[in-house]
Amino acid sequence: IYLNGAILGMPRRTIQRRFDEIVAFAEVERFIDTQVKQYSSGMHMRLAFSVAAHLETEVLLVDEVLAVGDLAFQEKCLGKMGDLSRSGRTVLFVSHSLAAVSNLCQRAVWLDGGRLKAEGPVGEIISEYVSSVHELTERRLVDRTDRSGDGSVRFEEVRFRRADGACVRGVTVGEDLIVELHYRSWDENELEPVAASVVFTNHLGVAVFNCFTDLVHADLRHLPPVGRLVCRVPRLPLAPGDYSLTLALIVGGRTADKVRDAAILRVVPGDYFGTGRLPRAGNACVMVEHSWQAVAESP
């Protein structure tokens, strides 16, 4: 704490005055006498952020501090950065979490390959960034190289269909959705055992739900080397908007292929509840069946 504080320009008298406050914020009171070399990376990050957050500087640079720590500590960090910014200090928050950037910041800077791509109000910059991801999905999936896995089996195409079998690029809220994942193996042997997942994420990169074969005990054995996996989602509960799909294929316990932003599904407003009222985009992520009633109570 004293070393970090000195490096960051905090006078020793200030460090002494705020020592207990820094330790309490980092939640490492029980381990404060333990050698730092035995700290985990998360404990290092907690102390480093706590020291920096208690400096009396006009500018605070925070780089991916939310990558470690439990949910409670992450929320505490966000709250602290919000307090600092409202007190008139400048917080430069570096993160890949669009949701955190959207909640914390008023302006955003988009860096791509170390170069300035765009700068402006946070909503506009996030929209531009999301649009660039959509452009990526316009490339043929079979030609995409930004993927992980051992490559023994690869996804080659994603198709969306309605219940009547028609191939579409988008569906209506509450409509049955069929997702077809076309794959190809590089040998002629049958594939087993196989697990697959399709994660739907919103425009802020937040996962909304995951269709995973293991969750529904789907029996995917003796698959042909070339074929397609079909995932059916009855009464799609997604609110209107664009959703990105992340695909993963696991064969024999090893990840064969994983592709982020493999396809974009557009969901348009529809009468999900059968009331004639259409949900508006941005109000929520998912639609759920629900009911209301009023109950009188005696005074």
Q: Which pLDDT tens digit goes with each residue over 207-228?
A: 899 999 999 988 888 899 999 9
d(CA 232, CA 39) in angstroms, rounded, equals 47
- Given the DSSP bridges, would you call strands 59-63 and 90-94 parallel, antiparallel or unpaired? parallel
Q: Mean per-residue pLDDT for 188-212?
A: 90
Q: What per-residue confidence (pLDDT) applies to 56?
A: 75
Q: Model confidence over 12-21: pLDDT tens digits?
A: 998 899 999 9
Q: What per-residue confidence (pLDDT) applies to 60?
A: 83
**What is the model's pTM?**
0.67
- For 190, which DSSP code? P
Q: What per-residue confidence (pLDDT) applies to 75?
A: 78
What pLDDT band is residue 204 in, cutting at 50, 70 and 90? confident
Mean of per-residue pLDDT scores for the chain? 86
Amino acid, single-letter form, for residue 24 = A
Q: What per-residue confidence (pLDDT) applies to 215?
A: 92
What pLDDT band is residue 110 in, cutting at 50, 70 and 90? very high
Show the tokens assigned to 290: 């629900």
Q: What per-residue confidence (pLDDT) applies to 235?
A: 93
Q: What per-residue confidence (pLDDT) applies to 66?
A: 63
Q: How many residues does the chain have?
A: 299
DSSP tally for the chain: helices H, then strands E: 6, 14
- Residue 45 pLDDT > 90: no
The percentage of the chain sitting over the pLDDT mark of 70, rounded to a whole number, equals 95
d(CA 131, CA 138) in angstroms, rounded, equals 11
d(CA 203, CA 257) in angstroms, rounded, equals 23
What pLDDT band is residue 233 in, cutting at 50, 70 and 90? very high
For the chain, the farthest-separated pair of C-alpha atoms sits apart, in whole angstroms, at: 76
SS (H, E, C) 236-292: CCECCEEEEEEEEEEECCEEEEEEEEEEEEEEECCCCCCCCCCCCCCCCCECCCCCC
What pLDDT band is residue 291 in, cutting at 50, 70 and 90? confident
Q: Mean per-residue pLDDT for 73-96?
A: 83
d(CA 254, CA 27) in angstroms, rounded, equals 38
Amino acid, single-letter form, for residue 260 = R
What pLDDT band is residue 296 in, cutting at 50, 70 and 90? very high
Q: Mean per-residue pLDDT for 147-164?
A: 93
Phi, psi of 44 (to 5 degrees): -55, -50
d(CA 237, CA 174) in angstroms, rounded, equals 6
- Given the DSSP bridges, would you call strands 241-251 and 254-268 parallel, antiparallel or unpaired? antiparallel
Q: Model confidence over 25-35: pLDDT tens digits?
A: 888 888 988 88
- Residue 93 pLDDT > 80: yes
Q: What per-residue confidence (pLDDT) applies to 65?
A: 67
